[in-house]
Structure formats: structure tokens, C-alpha cells
Amino acid sequence: MQRRKGRRGPVRPAGRGKGTVVIASESRAHSQTGFSLTESLAAILLVTLVILGLAAGILTTVRTTRIVSETQKSEAALSDATEVVKARPFQVCAGTTTYGPLPGATITTVEYLSSGVEGEQFGPTCDPTTDVAQRITVVIGGRSADVVKRDPTGVTP
């Protein structure tokens, strides 16, 4: 059977007599254009995956920005607290509360410089006659910094 494109109607098959008529019509599926359900679902899936990827990237950026901001605030507060400790006068055999309250910070340890067989080292015990330097540990929000204070009268240039 011979098919003519774009036209419906009787078509004469090749090699048959004039009396035989065959009606050929294009199928309805071939005559309409558009997307199939499968193609539409695949496109929706791809768009959804792209949107989810972008959303995950944005959430990661927001979370990272918040963490960096908190870290910077903590570092600034720790720097301020160590400057306060440095500005206060040296106290012989100071304890964790000797250098006064620090806003938002805690002094966790005070170690004292002492001479020993292995040389000078910081240790937990204080001798008032030899206390010329202290290592003070300041903590804010899980971050810590050490400040070394020296007795200005006991240190030789």
C-alpha cells in the first residue's frame, strides 16, 4: 500500500486495477505533536534535582557564614579578654580569680615560671620568692588563649 504524506483519502495501490480503492488515514498519534508523559516526568525530575542542588548550596553557604561569624565574634571577645588581663598589674602567686572578672571569659589556669633541672618551665606550684612570670589561660566559647605576665620589678633586661 502506498502512503501519501499530509493527505487523507483514497490511495490506489500500485499494481492493482482501477476498481480497488483502499482508504489510508494517518494514525492520530502521528498527527499530533507534543511531549509524552515520560518526557514530561523526566524534565520535571531534572528540574527538581537542579533546584534541590541549588537549595543545598544555599543552605551550606548560610550555615558556613553563621559559623564564621560566631568564630570571629569569639576570637574578638577572646582578644579583648586577653588585653584586659595584660593591662592589669602583675600579682605574685595569682589565682584564677585574682585578675578579676572578665566579661564572658573565664581564667582556667595560672601556671608559674620556675627553675628546675630541665631549665625554666611553667608549673602549677608557686614560690612567692621566685614568681617572676605567669602563664594565664583565658577561655571563651571553647576557644582559649594564653597570656604571659611578667613581674616588671623581677625581670632584668
Q: What is the pTM of this model?
A: 0.60
Q: Are residues 144 and 102 in the same domain?
A: yes
Q: Where are the beta strands (DSSP E) in 79-127?
A: 106-116, 119-123
- CB atoms under 10 Å from CB of 105, counted, come to 21
Q: Are residues 19 and 67 in the same domain?
A: no
The pLDDT score that the predictor gives to residue 142 is 84
Contact 81, 100 (CB under 8 A): no
The pLDDT score that the predictor gives to residue 56 is 97
Q: Are residues 148 and 75 in the same domain?
A: yes
Q: Are residues 98 and 127 in the same domain?
A: yes
Q: Are residues 29 and 46 in the same domain?
A: no
Range of the domain at 143: 35-157
Q: Are residues 132 and 152 in the same domain?
A: yes
- CB atoms under 10 Å from CB of 113, counted, come to 19
Q: Are residues 78 and 16 in the same domain?
A: no
Contact 140, 127 (CB under 8 A): no
Q: Are residues 22 and 88 in the same domain?
A: no
Could you state, in chain order, the average pLDDT of each consecutive group of 10 residues for the chain (157 residues)?
54 57 54 80 96 97 95 90 92 89 89 83 88 92 90 70
Provide the domain count of the chain. 2
